Amino acid sequence: MILTVTLNTALDLTYRVPELVPHTSHRVDEVTERPGGKGLNVARVLTALGHESVVTGFAGGRTGAVLRELLAPLAPVDALVPVAGTTRRTIAVVDAATGDTTQFNEPGPQITADEWEAFLTAYEPLLREADAVALCGSLPPGVPVGAYADLVRRARTAGVPVLLDTSGEPLRRGLAARPDLIKPNADELARLTGSREPLRAARDARRRGAHTVVASLGPEGMLAITPDGTWQATPPAPVRGNPTGAGDSAVAALLSSLVEDLPWPDRLTRAVALSAATVLAPVAGEYDAEAYEELLTGVRVTALPG
């Protein structure tokens, strides 16, 4: 079983409009509603890849109830912890004319000290059943900024490989707990290290505590610095569409490859192909399965000097 933690879950709304024009009214052609937040997206992709997954984090209020209703018929097991506050919404507006997406993210509910303790109580037994755990996304208000560092340490104590996918101060503090893997994008990596050169920044992040660093480079693919070597993987061609959830699909690819014990070039091939196939899908947490199979054969992995 693979456990995904989403402390700031969301109800994802996607609006598709013929053309997005600022300062005007729009007629929405299509609306989709999905249970969201990074770890929930990861879990849905893991399920599609054939892996059992369990989701935990927080859910509350009317929005949280809708999220859990939508999650119920899907394969990930719901181990979300209830809270008094209302789960946030995220709104993605897709411009059909260009394929570009504009994203609006609410901050999330206020989490009390008692609710945080309830989560920690639920987290420990879930860890004991997990083959790997992913800690994903932003922290809702009220959760300690060092929360991920705490969760990383608990996973390491339990002997469970842990992937950390967050940004800013939660990432900085989480690194000190020495996660097995982090997956920042290029901007997050630059903010963490102060370097805009991805290879230098990734090496710096590894020195700060990450066992392995996999950096998302957008259309240029992914860069991985691992104990076994350094590689860059690039897709066969740029793809256009909705990028929401592409990074989450990459996390699912890395987690599934980890538990399958694949070599690093194969892990990166899966991550880049799955990420690109997600851009071609209409909503986060899904990917274009036909495109994924085609992309797998076209990803190029290059070994770099250590």
What is the gyration radius of the CA atoms in the chain, in angstroms? 18
Residue 296: count of CB within 10 angstroms of its CB: 16
Q: Catalytic one among 12, 165, 180, 248? A: 248
Name every residue whose Cβ is closer than 8 Å to that of residue 280 and which is 6 or more positions away in sequence: 239, 241, 287, 288, 291
Kindly tell me the sign of the dihedral angle through the C-alpha atoms of 263, 266, 270, 276: positive
- Is 29 catalytic? The answer is no
Residue 232 structure tokens: 């860059």
The Cα 131–Cα 32 span in angstroms is 32
In order of 114, 213, 299, the CA distances from 185 in angstroms are 33, 10, 19
* Closest of 267, 264, 265, 248 to residue 256, by C-alpha: 267
Q: With contact defined as beta carbons under 8 Å apart, do 163 and 181 qualify?
A: yes
Residue 151's closest CA among 186, 107, 116? Answer: 116
> Residues 34, 56: contact at Cβ < 8 Å?
no
Residue 62 token pair: 């009317």
3-state secondary structure of 212: strand
Say which residues have a Cβ less than 8 Å from residue 41's Cβ, sequence separation at least 6.
Answer: 245, 248, 249, 252, 284, 285
User: Element (H or E) spanning 281, and its range?
Assistant: none
- Any idea which residues carry the catalytic annotation? 248
